[in-house]
Structure 1
Amino acid sequence: MVTALALVLGGLVVVMVANAVAHRSGLPASVLLVLAGIGYGYLPGPNLTLDPEAVLYLVIPPLLYAAALQSSLTALRTNARTVAGLSVALVLVTALAVGFGLNATVAAVPLSVGIAVGAAVSPPDPVAALSIGRRAGLPPRLITLVEGEGLLNDATALTILQVAVAAAVGGAFSVGHAVGDFLVVAAGGLLVGLVLAAAIAQLRKRVSDPLIDNALSLGTPFAAYLAAEKLHVSGVLAVVVAGLWLGHRSASLQSSRARLQTRAVWHLVEFLLEGYVFLLIGQQLPAVVRGLRDYDVSTVVTAAAVTVGTVLLVRPLWLLLAAHLPTRMHARLGGDPRPGNPPLSGRELLALSWAGTRGVITLAAAFTLPADTPARDLLLFCAYLVVLVTLIGQGLTFAPLLRRLRLPGTEVSRALTRNQARAAAVQAALQRLDSLAAADPTVGKIAAPLRHAAEVRQQRYTTRVELLSAVEDQMLPTDEEYLAALRARREMIDAEREELLAWRDAGRLADADMRVLERELDHVESVLPPLPPS
């Protein structure tokens, strides 16, 4: 117990240090954590072994649910065909390509086992790619595609893996039976997710305590996964569907206090789980390498080259093929040609193809292969190498690639849309205030200061919209008056907080009251945009 606690605390320190270094250096935290895990794995002393069931039941559900809460159901609907092509068709093609490649080049690998390994290495994990891409200015549409692909491809891959392992154990494989199983598992997961989300929504409508609401939120992904697994349908899809639906309805289901807490809670959960996951990935290298002692070098090199090469080549080839198909086929596989949602450009295709980093789901899936699987240690090494090459290789080069591509439609267009929406929201508030003042004389007496504050905000947003609309390049313009006002507002908040601390330290303000007033200031400060680096 003491050793386990020491490992957990040590891992926490490494996660915090790696993220601090990442913020200062610009290097991806995921890469730093994997390298730290590899270094620790070769040190003498206790080490952690990846338990696939623990990962699938305890790690994957909350990570998927947190990602689903932040995703846009509307954007996923708009890009549904492209997301389906990436998360279903591309996963299937990758699994088959890896399986046939291994079966043709490595005599010890049967086709069913090769497809099982192909299924394990086929689903990209978007965590690392998105953490880098958002900082480097990945356009909103590509963020939606990467998020949507990452949410749904795990269900496809795990279903293919189950079918392939069953075929390897039973010795028989039927395409029709496999397709039928896949459809049943997927439909069942979808249904479980919707039913559970509806039940949680009804509970939330009757809950007023933010703590109880957040406890419900924390339990939802595990309940969805467990219920689906008990029914032998897709737990991954159940979690994703529940998260998407509840996230889309959060405005009507949760109070503002509950939403603030939920975002903070899940942000911390993501930070810790992702950090430990990347450390755990790195620590598996010594054990995986030790399993290669019974294989000659040529076999190892061939299997690794086929697996890694296929994974790296299939994704860009698929995207290029989808982009150059006739319009009707293209709509199904590579994009939706409707107005406002044009096919992806060549630069966007390159960025999307480079966002195929693999992660812990690949290792967890590979480790579920039965102990008597032919060439199991060799195949585990191949899967691990795919994770290392994509996480480290693509992770280190993704941000420089995005900067060189100079993709359009990034910060300027998003900032413009946000300020247009803010101005429209304030206008709606002013209209509501006028209606209230006309109906209630009491409101009319106190409406003037409320109207003045809203009109000041509206003027600020309108000025910002005009400034952003005149921008010709993709660099956010600087408004010196706006920055001066922002600095002044932050200084005023600092002065208020210092005065409250002085009252508390002098014994004039109780700690409980201090916390109430401090929380008010924290909420005000939290909505202010960050100051640009000086």
Structure 2
Amino acid sequence: MIFVLAAVAVVVLVRWVAGRTGLPAAALLPLIGIAYAVLPGPNLGLDPEIILTFIIPPLLYSAALDSSLMAIRRNLRIVVSLSVLLVLMTALVIGVGFHWFVAGATLAAGIAVGAAIAPPDPVAALGVGRKVGLPPRLLTIIQGEGLLNDATALTILSVAVAAAVGDGFSWGSAVSQFVMAAAGGVLVGVAVAWLVRLLRKLRDDPLTANAISLATPFGAYLLAEEIHVSGVLAVVVAGLIIGHHAPGGSGASRLQTTAVWRLVEFLLEGFVFLLIGQQLPRVVSGLQQYAISTIVAAVAISVGVVLLLRPLWLLLTQSLPRSLHTRLIRDDNDTEREPTRGLAGREVVALSWAGTRGVISLAAIFALPLTTDSGAPFPDRDLLLFCTFVVVLVTLVGQGLTFAPLVRMLGLRANVSDQARLRNEARSASVAAALERLDELAEAGDEDELRAIEATRAQLVARQARYQGRIDLLRDADATELPVSPRYEAALRVRRAAIDAQREEVLRWRDAGQLPDEGLRVLQRELDHEEGLLPAR
């Protein structure tokens, strides 16, 4: 319990430091874990079964809920290229490299470590990218890759481990096992999402909605694993579908569920990044049996392939014929092929440096069995552990700390004015729809309803005028900066001041004994929701 409380304190402190310095917490936490690991005292070991069953599913599910299914579909070719083909190529190249250049290493063992270190963990890159204003398309690609590549890697790993502990590697068996695991994972994810949608009536209650939401990733993962298909892919597919349909649910349930998942994600991510650093003694302890040249060769192949193959792959895929950079567009009458914009040189560089590895790589490699079917030790297990740890450390700390300066140097910035204009246009359209609905209600309304309609109409008309003024201001604004409107800013200051005064007054009522605490909490919740509608300071 003391260790958990200390870990939470460190995670909170590091988040505060990261907010003040701009450094990514995902890169700072492993360094703190390493510093603690070298001190005398107990360390917390990484149990791969716990990580893969209780940590990875909720993290992937939370990320999937926060993703855009439609944006991923628009960039599906490059997402699949990075999350499936590049992961497969990375595992194979590292496997061949180990087989050729690392003394005594087998192809299956090399592919196993290649599969473990192939999938990037996008947490650090996404955190930095959002902070420095990376364009939405690049954020979507990074996020989509991170959602799908874990399933590819873990499936390849299971095939490689089966070959290493059994009679050898069979390409036919490997391909069929991969296809079955992936297809089965997708089907399980769709089935779980369909089942959760059947429970949408129950999800109108916020507490019930939270309980169902928290149980969903574990249910999807365990069901898929029970029938020997990809549990990770099942979780991701379920999260993407449920997140896509979430806007149609209860507003109160959606607000509370979002807050719960943000807390879960914050604590779990912080804990696992601390845990990564603490594995150093355990990883280093088994290296005495290897020659220095063997260790250097294995690490050089692992780190070199991870850092070099990604930019080469991106350059290769972007140089393919233009006809391959298309997607199918279906409407009621016809099916067309729409060309999609390729990646510019600066975007390729940014994506090349966004390949930070994380806890799933360590969990995967620690899950390697200790012995083969014949009772012999798993080939080069300790060396594979060390190579994975070095790759995670190099990418997570090295790339994580330098990603923000690289993005700034490249000048990659989202068009924030265009995004804000689009949001305000959508707001204006929603108000127009509300005014049309009021006109319909007014046709059959009684006197009391007509008074309410007119009062509501006045509020909506004022709001629409405010949105239209913001749209006009944004139309001619600089792409990288939001324009400041003195009138708009003054209105926000006045509204915040009014809310603060209301809070102070209801607190005085409670302190004077005129308002019970239950009533105070109701009024505070109303004011909190009103304040939540205002833009961030």
- TM-score, normalization by structure 1: 0.95
Aligned to 2:10, which of 4, 8, 14? 14
Aligned twin of 1:502: 508
Aligned 8 A contact 2:97 2:301 in 1: yes
Find the aligned partners of 2:446 and 2:513 in 1 and give their Cα distance: 43
Aligned 8 A contact 2:33 2:278 in 1: yes
1:95 has 2:101 as partner:
no
SS at match of 2:58: helix
Aligned to 2:291, which of 286, 291, 296? 296
Aligned to 1:470, which of 472, 476, 479? 476
Aligned twin of 2:494: 488
Aligned twin of 1:218: 214
The alpha-carbon deviation at position 32 of structure 1 amounts to 1.4
Aligned twin of 1:349: 348
Aligned 8 A contact 1:438 1:444 in 2: no
Aligned 8 A contact 1:138 1:410 in 2: no
Aligned to 1:421, which of 405, 422, 426? 426
Aligned twin of 2:373: none
Aligned 8 A contact 1:98 1:114 in 2: yes
1:380 has 2:385 as partner:
yes
Aligned 8 A contact 1:324 1:330 in 2: no
Kindly, what percent of the aligned residue pairs are identical?
A: 59
1:440 has 2:435 as partner:
no
The alpha-carbon deviation at position 205 of structure 1 amounts to 2.2
Aligned to 1:257, which of 227, 248, 252? 252
Aligned 8 A contact 1:82 1:331 in 2: no
The alpha-carbon deviation at position 250 of structure 1 amounts to 1.1
SS at match of 1:397: helix
The alpha-carbon deviation at position 28 of structure 1 amounts to 0.7
The alpha-carbon deviation at position 331 of structure 1 amounts to 4.8
Aligned 8 A contact 1:437 1:444 in 2: yes
Aligned to 2:66, which of 66, 70, 79? 70
Aligned to 1:134, which of 117, 123, 130? 130
Find the aligned partners of 1:33 and 1:302 in 2 and give their Cα distance: 28
Find the aligned partners of 1:467 and 1:99 in 2 and give their Cα distance: 56
Aligned twin of 1:84: 80
Find the aligned partners of 2:345 and 2:530 in 1 and give their Cα distance: 43
Q: What letter corresponds to residue 159 of structure 2 in structure 1?
A: V
Q: Residues 25-424 of structure 1 correspond to what in structure 2 (within 5 A)?
A: 25-252=21-248, 254-331=249-326, 341-371=340-370, 372-424=377-429
Cα deviation per residue 1:417-464 (whole Å; 9 max; x = unaligned)?
111111111111111111111222343232222111111111111111
Q: What letter corresponds to residue 104 of structure 1 in structure 2?
A: W
Q: What letter corresponds to residue 266 of structure 2 in structure 1?
A: F
Q: What letter corresponds to residue 10 of structure 1 in structure 2?
A: A
Q: What letter corresponds to residue 503 of structure 2 in structure 1?
A: R
Aligned 8 A contact 1:18 1:32 in 2: yes
Find the aligned partners of 2:453 and 2:476 in 1 and give their Cα distance: 35
Find the aligned partners of 1:514 and 1:261 in 2 and give their Cα distance: 19
1:525 has 2:537 as partner:
no
What is the root-mean-square deviation in Å for CA atoms of aligned residues? 1.4
Find the aligned partners of 2:357 and 2:201 in 1 and give their Cα distance: 38
SS at match of 2:258: helix
The alpha-carbon deviation at position 340 of structure 1 amounts to 7.5
Find the aligned partners of 2:106 and 2:21 in 1 and give their Cα distance: 45
Find the aligned partners of 1:219 and 1:9 in 2 and give their Cα distance: 25
Aligned 8 A contact 2:67 2:240 in 1: yes
SS at match of 2:199: helix
Structure 1's 473 and 247: CA in aligned 2 closer, same or farther, altered over 3 A? closer
Q: What letter corresponds to residue 128 of structure 2 in structure 1?
A: I
Aligned 8 A contact 1:322 1:330 in 2: no
Higher mean displacement: 305-314 or 365-374: 365-374
Structure 1's 516 and 472: CA in aligned 2 closer, same or farther, altered over 3 A? closer
Aligned 8 A contact 1:490 1:525 in 2: yes
Structure 1 residue runs without a partner (length 5+):
none
Aligned 8 A contact 2:134 2:413 in 1: no
The alpha-carbon deviation at position 164 of structure 1 amounts to 0.7
Q: What letter corresponds to residue 322 of structure 1 in structure 2?
A: T
The alpha-carbon deviation at position 73 of structure 1 amounts to 0.8
SS at match of 1:263: helix
The alpha-carbon deviation at position 196 of structure 1 amounts to 1.2
The alpha-carbon deviation at position 29 of structure 1 amounts to 0.8
The alpha-carbon deviation at position 308 of structure 1 amounts to 0.3
Cα deviation per residue 1:155-214 (whole Å; 9 max; x = unaligned)?
000000011111111232221221111111111111111111111111122443210111
Structure 1's 257 and 222: CA in aligned 2 closer, same or farther, altered over 3 A? same
Q: What letter corresponds to residue 389 of structure 2 in structure 1?
A: Y
Find the aligned partners of 1:487 and 1:24 in 2 and give their Cα distance: 25
Find the aligned partners of 2:83 and 2:520 in 1 and give their Cα distance: 50
Query: Number of aligned pairs?
Result: 522
Find the aligned partners of 2:102 and 2:428 in 1 and give their Cα distance: 63
SS at match of 1:379: helix
Cα deviation per residue 1:11-31 (whole Å; 9 max; x = unaligned)?
010000000111111111111
- TM-score, normalization by structure 2: 0.95
Q: What letter corresponds to residue 390 of structure 1 in structure 2?
A: T
Find the aligned partners of 1:308 and 1:338 in 2 and give their Cα distance: 39
Find the aligned partners of 1:378 and 1:390 in 2 and give their Cα distance: 18
Find the aligned partners of 2:479 and 2:201 in 1 and give their Cα distance: 46
Aligned 8 A contact 2:202 2:208 in 1: no
Q: What letter corresponds to residue 21 of structure 2 in structure 1?
A: S
SS at match of 1:325: coil
SS at match of 1:249: helix
Aligned 8 A contact 2:151 2:232 in 1: yes
Find the aligned partners of 2:176 and 2:18 in 1 and give their Cα distance: 46
Find the aligned partners of 1:20 and 1:124 in 2 and give their Cα distance: 25
Find the aligned partners of 1:33 and 1:380 in 2 and give their Cα distance: 20
Find the aligned partners of 2:478 and 2:524 in 1 and give their Cα distance: 42
Cα deviation per residue 1:224-282 (whole Å; 9 max; x = unaligned)?
00000000000001101111111111122x31110010000000000000000100001
